[in-house]
Amino acid sequence: MAEENEWGLRPLGPSEVNRLRGLAAAVAADLARSGLVISGQQNQYRETSAGGLRVEVDEFDDAAGGIWLHWEVHPSLRKATSEALRGQRFDDPVIASAGSIHERMASTILCMLGALGYVAEPSDDDYRPFAIKVLSAST
């Protein structure tokens, strides 16, 4: 069993990490074949990502661990939303638009995953709003 890191998190074992990475690759490939653009996985800061679906593999042994799918809007909408929030313009229509897009894309991605034979659920993680957690491939 792996030791906890300085944040109290315990990494998954190598076989479980490999299983998650394989499942994440299969999900990404199936969704790409379905027409979704898969954004770069290594772009942590997302400034240069044109948008699309980001696949995250959380490799820790806790409730937040697993495969997460995030819809990324175009940088211009991300920037406008951030500027409205920083300016405390909480009634700015761009915030509502971005939220609506994320909500609808999460619903659409859930439907697509079901059609492709995956078991998934909407996020209940406050740090991952509008994300989808992939639980397994249907057997």
- Closest C-alpha among 35, 69, 71, 39 to residue 55: 69
pLDDT at 134 over 60: yes
Q: pTM score, two decimals?
A: 0.85
Domain extent for 58? 14-137
Angle among Cα 63, 125, 100 to the nearest 5 degrees reads 150
Residue 5 lies in a domain: no
Residue 126 lies in a domain: yes
Q: Report how many domains make up the chain.
A: 1
Q: How far is residue 14's CA from residue 36's CA, in Å, rounded to a whole number?
A: 29
Single-letter amino acid, residue 81: T
| pLDDT tens string 18-53 | 999 999 999 999 999 999 999 865 545 556 667 899
Kindly state the greatest CA–CA separation across the chain: 49
Residue 79 lies in a domain: yes
Residues 62 and 122 sit within 8 Å (Cβ to Cβ): no
pLDDT at 132: 97
